[in-house]
Amino acid sequence: SVQRISSDMASLNSFIIAAASSSSSCQNHSLCHPLKSPLPLLRSFTFPRNTKKKSSASVWPLFCALNNQPLQYRKLGESDLNISEITLGTMTFGEQNTEKEAHDILNYAFDRGINALDTSEAYPIPMKKETQGRTDLYIGSWLKSQPRDKIILATKVCGYSERSSYVRENAKVLRVDAENIRESVEKSLKRLGTDYIDLLQIHWPDRYVALFGEFTYDPSKWRPSVPFVEQLQAFQELINEGKVRYIGVSNETSYGVMEFVHAAKVEGLPKIVSIQNSYSLLSRCRFEVDLVEEATIKYLELAKKHGLTPVQLALGFARDRPFMTSSIIGATSVDQLKEDIDAFTTTERPLPAAVMADIEDIFKRYKDPAIF
């Protein structure tokens, strides 16, 4: 994932949280239902203590609107989470950013209506034993002076890993099973200084999937994995205890998404409400390196042609997709965050038809050559 959005190649990349079921923000668009299938939709699972939290969270977008905050808010899937169209990514906190810098960025984001934070037990990035969990600690120290029920806190439990066993107390391999999930949540709650997580996501699958630089599936890497039902059962226990409100997935495939949905339906278990995957001008499909460079040049020329900055073009495009619920924007400075937020709030909404036509022309020319 590319968290840093600036006026270079990285400005054309972003990370998204897409609703994993019907979303009130795009109810007239069929594309906004990534999980719409012949399977009947399962009932919503509610948080046992969420009456107060739900009402407070619902009031916050209205408060922002009354105070001239131009950000939009959207319901995340079948949850009651009313999420800002920008989610603040935090994976640089504790590596590229000091605690004070992190707090300045968090304050700026919150003051301008961003109500969702994305973190992970793995952060900061790159993953290292010496810094693991520091991002959460910085967020936790900031949360002490904030109204917790007005903030949507999303975090992630690590998927399968043979290299990051230091994340657990006594483990040789990280798995997405009941024991690992519980330990992850308990430690995350402690670091963050809160008693509940609004959205808990599986950072990457327990089973083998071609990820993080792999572009083809390698059958030799197949391994037995924790059944989808067992994973959902572990999440169900934490939801029943009030420690987790909703669940989602990240870096997941369409197969994995549908298996989670099917298992939830058949077994009466919690249904995932979101999927957090890469999506941007440059990751609409998989590019060869030379195609990325050529496409980047063309998108920069396109932005200049229409009087837009690369940031306005990249974030405006992501913002306007009918299936997009919230774009995760990472920033290493307040100035950078300001530029990102302004791109959402001041760029014409939606982008003009002429801009979109030019984007599609570039996409058709520089897409994966195997796609007709």
Catalytically active residues are 123
Beta bridge partners of 17: 326
Chain length of the chain: 372
CB 19 within 8 A of CB 261: no
Residue that has been written with the tokens 């100035």 in this structure: 335
What is d(CA 228, CA 119) in angstroms, rounded to the nearest whole number?
23
What is d(CA 129, CA 121) in angstroms, rounded to the nearest whole number?
11
Q: Which two tokens stand for residue 110?
A: 């919150």
Cβ within 8 Å of residue 198, ≥6 positions away: 81, 152, 153, 154, 245, 246
CB 3 within 8 A of CB 330: yes
Q: How many CA atoms lie within 13 A of 259 on its CB side?
A: 15
- Which helix (H) or strand (E) segment is 349 a member of? none
What is d(CA 3, CA 304) in angstroms, rounded to the nearest whole number?
23
How many other β-carbons are positioned within 10 Å of the β-carbon of residue 312? 25
What is d(CA 251, CA 278) in angstroms, rounded to the nearest whole number?
8
What is d(CA 369, CA 338) in angstroms, rounded to the nearest whole number?
37
Q: How many CA atoms lie within 13 A of 174 on its CB side?
A: 24
Residue that has been written with the tokens 């995760």 in this structure: 328
What is d(CA 232, CA 235) in angstroms, rounded to the nearest whole number?
5
Phi, psi of 335 (to 5 degrees): -60, -40
Coil vs helix vs strand at 346: helix
Q: Which two tokens stand for residue 220?
A: 């030799």
